[in-house]
Chains A and B, each alone.
Chain A
């Protein structure tokens, strides 16, 4: 095998597959990245047996072939290389030689035979296709509410729920829940049926890194596997076993007190008040005189703070205590100037959403005072 690749392209490729590189004492080859050629394309691949990522990078294929070498070594060479072009070559002894303008590395490599088979993501019609930027945005907003947990494996991921004209992304850590809706214009379901499956949190986070500002992404599932592709990258991942809880039951059917407030002001207020919150990050939200939202926090060792924000309030006056970080997370899910806050007393879930549309919903349980 003989390749000439621009340093930046190789770096991009190695970075993309980096998080799928495995550390397995039984099978050290999982720490390697597979470099292979397909016609005049160069493909990098890595897997940790839960997740596999492949990336096609551009470069010149002088002689076809394939080889695996430790990702760590390749990455440090490429990161520190000042040469614009890097020559890659395999020797007859089975070593890999990387050549820059002023260095030549000889790396112990191994053949592709022992590397796990990464199932190809086919270019097929029966898939869901969605704008890359929209999916990235949606996943970013959903994973806020998720938490990796061995205790509750069935919720440590993002639920993808496809209905005929809406794609819902849902995540929860049992204290809060985020639901992002991607509407029919922004995605296309060619599976011929609805779908419902949960991808691991790590896979979701990886997708937000892979997805770009432009272009389309598509995905489908097959035999307990999630298969995803963009123009030059593919990702396959296991699915989470066990069913995601019936989250619709959590969404409050009615809201006692509706509050409209400036998103920016509330988020500033929470950050400031957060400095006075105690170890449990608790701040008290209190509604007054139909037009003021008061945020109070205190800590024995620090002192106390009172923050008043003008608000439009509809419904009975109420108060509740929340984790201010969780509240702030909920505000990050939208970008409208105003934010809708629905309070349901001190023991039932509160709702945060955009005032006009249903594209984002964040539900949060209070802290018991």
Chain B
């Protein structure tokens, strides 16, 4: 006899012995949670019911359970608020007075999984640049915890990592009809949870929160590097989940070996699963992305303008989104279709916006920081391999981002000859076109330069 059947039988016996109102009030929404070592655990909807049942019906319940199942020696009670049926839920509609009133984006997030339902796999545009990541994710969705564990996805800013891993979470939730518990967390939130748990002496909350799941999705893992307590906690969480074949999905802006502050033991664990990257979308994919986004927004733009965006927005998908927002806004405010030159102006505004802020010293600092060498070595005389490439990248970025003249560049980078600068620019430009690794590095450095503050 299953627990459910057993409890149903007990209930129908009790129903005969106590008055109908009492039965409906106290016992209707109850269930037998579990039976272990002679103890039956009964869940009741509220504390009043618990006290009442314990006081008045305990003997009856114990007696009738024992009649059916001789092994039971004890009955205990817990409160489970979810037992109250909320049939009236969902019937309420928003008042018309809230028309146009914006609400907090964060509130749309599912409070249990932390996933934003906006991200779906259907709206994820697959191209050659993310095909691999997409199919690895699909495999994980089909075989949660078994196929690739952990799944580590890395790629530059605004290329759809968050979209992909959140979509994976949403998909898992839908496919398994909530039978698989999913939790999404940014590493920033994880860190702040650990910090506040330490401060408030409630470490068990963090443990419960993150270990009691079937799928843990953690975004931007690179930020936990260099935070020992957080890394430690994450390490144990990771191990607990991994040992129990629970799926872990991780995203980062770079591969594990390129996160310098990450502890070795964590790195080796990340490398033990499947590592996939998302690189940059090519022209055709960018075109497809723009069309999908327009469809999502039920807006339309002329083909010529779409082509222009696809050609000009080369950095990332978030930039495309920004451009589209501006164009659509423009179109709806002025109530007329955009012409090409106006669109061009708006696109240039967005794509060049961030570049204007950079200064040579910022670039120097960013490059030095990225390669973990000192700025003095960067512009110094030494021709070791570890300095040469960063130095060439610096010169390239001076040209590319600041449009500086070659003699000027050469002068800034250790008073060299201007031909050195020309050579460096050409070389990096050429390699970057072929080698996605380098172009990714360049992008990451540019991100740091453009970051405010």
Binding site for B on A (CB under 8 A): 24, 26-28, 47, 49-50, 52, 116-119, 149-155, 162-164, 172, 174-175, 177, 192-196, 223-225, 236, 238-239, 241-250, 279-282, 323, 347, 349, 363, 365-369
Contacts and interface: CB of A to CB of B under 8 A. Distances in A.
A280 B22 contact: no
B414 interface: no
Contacts of B20: 26
A246 B98 contact: no
Interface of B: 20-22, 24-25, 46-52, 55, 78-79, 81-82, 86, 88-92, 96-104, 106-107, 109, 111-112, 114, 189, 192, 196, 199-202, 205
B30 to A, nearest CB: 14
B25 A365 contact: no
B47 A223 contact: yes
A270 B220 CA distance: 43
B47 A174 contact: no
Contacts of B114: 246
A247 B104 CA distance: 10
B196 A224 contact: no
A149 B101 CA distance: 17
Contacts of B46: 49-50, 224, 238
A163 B197 CA distance: 10
Given A26-B25, A224-B47, A249 B106 contact: yes
A244 B90 CA distance: 19
B199 A164 contact: yes
A238 B104 contact: no
Contacts of A50: 46
Contacts of A152: 107
B111 A163 contact: no
B102 A193 contact: no
A238 B79 CA distance: 10
B104 A282 contact: no
A27 B25 contact: yes
A150 B199 contact: no
22 contacts: A26-B21, A27-B21, A28-B21, A117-B51, A119-B51, A149-B92, A154-B111, A163-B196, A175-B98, A223-B47, A224-B46, A238-B47, A245-B106, A248-B192, A249-B106, A250-B107, A280-B98, A280-B101, A365-B101, A365-B102, A365-B103, A367-B100
Contacts of B55: 117
B88 A224 contact: no
B188 to A, nearest CB: 9
Contacts of B200: 162-164, 193-195
Given A174-B107, A367-B100, A193 B201 contact: yes
Nearest to A28: B21
A47 B35 CA distance: 32
Contact of A194 (B22, B82, B96, B196): B196
A49 to B, nearest CB: 5
B243 to A, nearest CB: 26
Contacts of B103: 174-175, 365
Contacts of B199: 163-164, 194
A162 B189 CA distance: 18
Contacts of A239: 81
Interface centre among B47, B90, B112, B205 (most CB of A within 10 A): B47
Nearest to A117: B51
Contacts of A164: 199-200
A265 B98 CA distance: 26
Given A117-B55, A194-B200, A194-B201, A366 B102 contact: yes
A224 B104 contact: no
Nearest to A241: B81
Contacts of B109: 245
Contact of A368 (B49, B50, B102): B102
A116 B92 contact: no
Contacts of B88: 150
Given A27-B21, A117-B55, A194-B196, A241 B82 contact: yes
Given A27-B22, A163-B199, A280-B97, A155 B51 contact: no
A174 B202 CA distance: 28
B92 A151 contact: yes
B102 A224 contact: no
Interface centre among A150, A196, A248 (most CB of B within 10 A): A150
B104 A26 contact: no
Given A149-B92, A242-B112, A365-B104, 17 more contacts: A26-B21, A26-B24, A49-B46, A116-B52, A117-B48, A117-B51, A150-B89, A151-B90, A162-B200, A172-B104, A175-B102, A194-B199, A194-B202, A223-B47, A243-B112, A367-B100, A368-B100
